[in-house]
Amino acid sequence: MSAENAATHRAIDAVWRIESAKIIAALTRIVRDVGLAEELAQDALLAALQQWPQSAVPDNPAAWLMATAKHRAMDHFRRNKLLERKHGELGRELESQQESAVANFEADFDAANEADFGDDLLRLVFISCHPVLSTEARVALTLRLLGGLTTQEIARAFLVPEPTIAQRIVRAKRTLSEARVPFEVPRGPDLAARLSSVLEVLYLIFNEGYSATAGDDWMRPALIEDALRLGRILAGLTPNEPEVHGLVALMEIQASRTHARTNSGGEPILLADQDRMRWDHALIRHGLGELQRAETPNAAQGPYALQAAIAACHARANTPEQTDWPRIAALYARLAQLTPSPIIELNRAVAVSMAFGPQAGLDLVDSLTSEPALRSYHLLPAVRADLLKKLGRLAEAREEFARAANLAQNSRERTLLLTRAASCSAA
């Protein structure tokens, strides 16, 4: 491939990542089938890959893709068997109906092109994250339709075989079609339930990028960026939803630490050891602004806003010693009341240990050791090991670090835990 063609392909990829969701959303509004809409949009992408290297990238590539997708939809509509069926008994009446139907379709599509994409995008967000789908399917479909990722990219990001991701996406689209899920934004009491599903998907995507559950990389920055981009889109589309701003705040403040979380070799650097000058302070400022929007006077703080408030305590501290650990412990207590979870309790135990001493934290951790949900969770013995080490109980700490390493699926994290186990022997 020539350098010129390579540059064209990079341009196509960039345009597709930005514009594909809008195109699919507009198509879905007309054809009422998200699977068909994606196929038509992919046809437009294929046409661009075939034509742009010869004809150059258009002045308005997004409009070109939209127009091409429109023509593909028109062709599909004309080929529809119900319209092409020309039985003798229908004769001219059917032909007249065909012409009328095509004319109506053209008018509807022109209206869709001229409409504000915001409503269509919001509908696409809600249909991609519909609770009728499994969590895994929602994540895959959201990254595919709204993130513009290929099946291969999604599979690589989550360390899942590509055929598995492909099957999830195909089944998700089939499930939405068979369930006749409407392409609309839910209203009234349904909105809160559906919005929580959307936020959960974005939260899962971000967390997998921020702390990869398996593989050789501590983080997957591309997933962090995808979650942030989608979160910002959602915040722009739902400006009066505090929890959306809370999630965006959480993601931006956490993402601000990305460059400080690993060394040049990709090895993890714990929060207390990070160079805070390497944190992205522009992201922090933006995240704190989003948190302010989430903390509106008349709105009770939800789980994402509370987690963002915890992250903000770290972001506001110039040094680890300046961290307001009592406030963090209190915020975790509120979070545990709102959404009871043994993992939240484990995080609270860490905050309590920092605020009131390692023994106070260890007492809380020991009360969680019989929790079934934490039986295979590597951070339980890792936290316990850290507290035991601070208390001078080195042999026990070494054993717990080793147990945590055996449970860890991420190779970078496993190495870190084994190193910490060894440090207990050397101490």
Domain membership of residue 284 (yes or no) is: yes
Q: Which residues of 53-92 are buried (b: 16+ CB within 10 A; e: fewer)?
A: beeeeeeebeebbbebbbebbbeebeeeeebeeeeeeeee
Q: How far apart are CA 28 and CA 266, in angstroms?
A: 42
Instruction: Assess whether pLDDT exceeds 80 at residue 261.
Output: yes
Whole-number Å distance between alpha carbons of 395 and 13: 54
- The answer on 97 and 50 residing in a single domain is yes
Mean pLDDT of 314-329: 97
pLDDT attached to residue 85: 52
168 and 81 within one domain: no
**Is there a single domain that holds both residue 12 and residue 111?**
yes
- What is the phi/psi pair of residue 215, to 5°? 95, -165
Q: What is the pLDDT of residues 370-401, one digit of tens each?
A: 999 898 999 999 999 999 999 999 999 999 99
Question: What's at 80, amino acid-wise?
Answer: N
Tens of pLDDT, residue by residue over 161-206, are: 999 999 999 999 999 999 999 888 888 778 877 898 899 999 999 9
Q: Is residue 370 part of a domain?
A: no
Q: What percent of the chain has pLDDT over 90?
A: 57
Question: Within this chain, do residues 28 and 103 fall inside the same structural domain, yes or no?
Answer: yes
171 and 151 inside one domain: yes
Instruction: Return the axis-axis angle of helices 117-128 and 34-55, rounded to nearest 10°.
Output: 120
- The residue-averaged pLDDT of 209-218 equals 85
In the structure, what pLDDT confidence band is assigned to residue 359 with cuts at 50, 70 and 90?
very high
Residue pLDDT, tens place only, 280-306 = 999 999 999 999 999 987 777 899 999
For residue 42, is it within any domain?
Answer: yes
pTM recorded for the entire structure: 0.81
**Looking at the structure, do residues 291 and 319 belong to the same domain, yes or no?**
yes
User: Above 90 in pLDDT, residue 258?
Assistant: yes
Mean pLDDT of 345-361: 98
Query: In this predicted model, which residue has the larger pLDDT, 12 or 351?
Result: 351
Residue 104 lies in a domain: yes
Range of the domain at 144: 117-206
> What are 289's two structure tokens?
């602004």
Under the banding of pLDDT at 50, 70 and 90, the label for residue 84 is low
148 pLDDT tier (thresholds 50, 70, 90): confident
User: Does residue 346 sit within a domain?
Assistant: no
Quote the tokens at residue 192: 């809160």
Looking at the fold, whether 197 and 261 belong to one and the same domain comes out as no
Position 86 pLDDT exceeds 80: no
Residue 149 in domain: yes
Number of domains in the chain: 3
Give the model's pLDDT for residue 393: 96
Query: How high does pLDDT run on average in the chain?
Result: 87
Q: Does 201 lie in the same domain as 126?
A: yes
Q: What is the pLDDT of residue 92?
A: 45
On the question of pLDDT at 94 being above 50, the answer is no
Q: Please tell me whether residues 244 and 262 are part of one structural domain.
A: yes
Asked, for residue 355, whether it belongs to a domain, the answer is no
Residue 115 confidence (pLDDT) above 50: no
Q: Does residue 62 register a pLDDT over 90?
A: no
What tokens were used for 425?
Answer: 């022997």
Query: Does residue 415 carry a pLDDT above 50?
Result: yes
- Per-residue pLDDT band at 1 (split at 50, 70, 90): low
Residue 129 lies in a domain: yes
CA distance 333 to 345: 8
In the predicted model, is pLDDT for residue 157 greater than 90? no
> So what's the pLDDT on residue 363?
97
- Name the phi and psi angles at 104, rounded to 5: -65, -40
Residue 193: its pLDDT value, please?
78
